[in-house]
Amino acid sequence: MRLRGFTLVELIVVIAVITLLSAMLLPALHSAREQARAMVCQAHIRDLAIQFHQYEAEHQTLPYGIWAMRSSPPSGYLGDASYDLPGWYWPDFIGAVRHPSSRDRKILECPSRRIETPGLSRSVLYGNYGVNRSLCRSAADRSPYKREFPGPPLSTSTIRHPGATVLLVDSGYALVCWWDAMLQPPHRYLGPLALGTAYIPGLAINKEKELLSGQIDDAIGGRHPNKTVNVGFADGHVDRMKAEALCVEMVSESDEPIYHNRTPLWEPR
């Protein structure tokens, strides 16, 4: 019995069907993969929030955002002296970095981070999670950030609306504040350090910001589907929100300016 092979027309039809199915399925698979990464990110922030509250239970306050100590942390300084303030950062205080190669470090890394510059991509301070500097303040700081953020960190018992105040969020840098969520902050840091390049990924105003080259895709294109970010609040719960929902805007310019979305979202008072 003679076996019948595929004709050229039949082969072309099969290839066309496979191509069509691939074109239909690949976007769905990509979307599912991005959603899965966003869920892993959300779990990271939830676990970090638990560690923040465990630290608070032991020390009666949240950890410092950064504390410039003479001695280096057990795992070494997280930052790069060319960009970052030397000191203990909040991951050092909550014990999230015990060793440079530890798997514990993974909890500090957003699976959707989009930092491209090699020097920045190797640092957990960039393109992962930022702590709200209004809560986790700085023990030592530099001008002009001395105007608002230094001092002892807060405790959740002193935060009037902990369920509405940001503790931890998807961020371009490990330290973030309401200044970084607005186009024209009340003060600008003019030094070479990275504090002034913090941002909320996906905010429209990021197009007008001065960013490091490796941050542009993350800042402007966004990190999670539909330009959403994961937000951990001071009471411990985590939500996924549109990045624009975190934007701060001046609505009244006077001796005491009024800002939309500053309080209680970013500022506890």
Confidence of residue 172 (pLDDT cuts 50, 70, 90): very high
Percent of the chain with pLDDT over 70: 87
19 found inside a domain? yes
Question: Is 69 within a domain?
Answer: yes
Tokens 């993974």 found at: 106
Q: What is the tally of structural domains in the chain?
A: 1
- Window from 148-152, 161-165, 194-198 with minimum mean pLDDT: 194-198
Confidence of residue 31 (pLDDT cuts 50, 70, 90): confident
Report yes or no on 202 lying in a domain. yes
Percent of the chain surpassing pLDDT 90: 55
Report if residue 267 sits inside a domain. no
222 — pLDDT class (breaks 50, 70, 90) = very high
CA distance 179 to 49: 22
* DSSP type of residue 209: S
**Domain-located, residue 183:** yes
Confirm whether 4 is domain-assigned. Answer: no
Task: Pinpoint the alpha helices (H) of the chain.
Answer: 8-59, 90-94, 118-121, 216-221
Residue 23 in any domain: the answer is yes
Q: 235, 37 in Cβ contact below 8 A?
A: no
State the DSSP H helix or E strand holding residue 27, giving kind and residue range, or none if neither.
helix 8-59
Can you read off the two tokens belonging to residue 47? Answer: 């676990």
- Structural domain of residue 145, as residue ranges? 9-260
- 142 located within any domain: yes
Given this model, what pLDDT does residue 179 score?
93
pLDDT band at 100 (very low <50, low <70, confident <90, very high): low
Residue 57's pLDDT band (boundaries 50, 70, 90)? very high
pLDDT of residue 85: 82
Number of alpha carbons in the 13 Å side-chain half-sphere of residue 99: 3
- The Cα-based distances of 129 to 167, 168, 174, 194 in angstroms read 10, 7, 6, 14
Q: What is the pTM of this model?
A: 0.86
Given a cut of 80, is residue 252 above it in pLDDT?
Answer: yes
